[in-house]
Amino acid sequence: MQEVLPLLVFQTDFTYKEGAIASMYGVVRSVSRDVEIITATHDLPQYDIWSASYRLMQYVRFWPKGTVFVSVVDPGVGTSRKACVAKTKDGYYIVTPDNGTLTHVWQQHGIAQVRQIDESVNRLKSTEGTSVFHGRDLFGYCGARLAAGIITYEEVGPVYDPGSIVRLPISAAHVENGKAEGIVEIDDPNFGNAWTNIPVAKMLNNGFAYGDDVQILLKKGDEVLLDRKVRFDRTFGDVAKGDVILYNNELMNVSLAVSQGSFIEQYHCGFGSEYTIVIRKEES
């Protein structure tokens, strides 16, 4: 019986506006015609390492164990930042610059081991004169060799301390009886929803219930973006079109939406540590 090769999943900020993705995928096919290439996204915000980190966390756990992920948002391409392959504690491989992209995977999955890519072996030789396309020449090439079984994980390059991996600062959510605090950790750009880092389970275990009216204070730094009562419920249809709802999103965290509208546009809401949210249960 023929061995099934790991899948090779890509995410980048390259877009489809020119030939970068085609050349990157061409390198993979030149390494092996048998490796299946899957596109997660090539529309990450430009240079946004935080988004790259979060999106990996969003979907990695839903793939078969052993899947090889290549994530390239690399504003420091060609500099001294490490190029690595991390192995998670639950058996996934992440091929990426060590620039903060592993932050959320570290938090969600844990990193069992990390290896620096040996460029003398695992870099495309025909393009050694350029240092500005590591997505093709280093990460894509090395990821293809790993997924194809041409190299083992141990042959990626030298191991280094997982504790030294670059990690972005993440503010932890805090939930107590009738009060929850956190940040808007990411947006849903297609539908305009604002996803927080507050687990719905912690809210339900601390005095909140679906159907409650809750007081929301959403701020960007010191600027108040929203200060009003909002319905806390399961889905968008639980409120009228145009109403704001606090709902349980696909990752089991609470998020803000405008039913059939865009919360992030209407309330000028971005994401990151400066976008803070406080949720209070209304007194009965």
What is residue 2's predicted lDDT score, i.e. its pLDDT?
59
Residues 50 and 118 in one domain: yes
Domain limits for position 55: 8-164
Taking alpha carbons only, the member of 39, 41, 47 closest to residue 74 is 47
Q: Yes or no: say if 225 and 267 are a contact pair by the CB < 8 Å rule.
A: yes
The strand pairing partners of 10, in sequence order, are 39, 70
Q: Which amino acid is at 238?
A: D
Residue 187 within a domain? yes
Per-residue pLDDT of the chain (284 residues; tens, 9 = 90+): 557 899 999 999 999 999 999 999 999 999 999 999 999 999 999 999 999 999 999 999 999 999 999 999 999 888 889 999 999 999 999 999 999 999 999 999 999 999 999 999 999 999 999 998 999 999 999 999 999 999 999 999 999 999 999 999 988 999 999 999 999 999 999 999 999 999 999 999 999 999 999 999 999 999 999 999 999 999 998 999 999 999 999 999 999 999 999 999 999 999 999 999 999 997 65
DSSP line for 218-230: EEETTEEEEEEEE
What is residue 284's predicted lDDT score, i.e. its pLDDT?
57
Taking alpha carbons only, the member of 14, 117, 118, 144 closest to residue 73 is 14
Residue 212 within a domain? yes
φ and ψ of 236, to 5 deg: -60, -35
Residues 82 and 200 in one domain: no
Q: For position 244, which CATH number holds?
A: 2.40.30.90
Residues 98 and 195 in one domain: no
Residue 3 within a domain? no
Residues 101 and 219 in one domain: no
Taking alpha carbons only, the member of 253, 231, 254, 227 closest to residue 242 is 231
Residues 149 and 270 in one domain: no
Q: Ramachandran region of residue 47, left (φ > 0), alpha (ψ -120 to 50) or beta?
A: left
pTM here is 0.94
What is residue 132's predicted lDDT score, i.e. its pLDDT?
87
CA dihedral of residues 94, 100, 104, 110 (deg, nearest 10): 60
- Return the structure tokens found at 37: 């290439």
Structural domain tally of the chain? 2
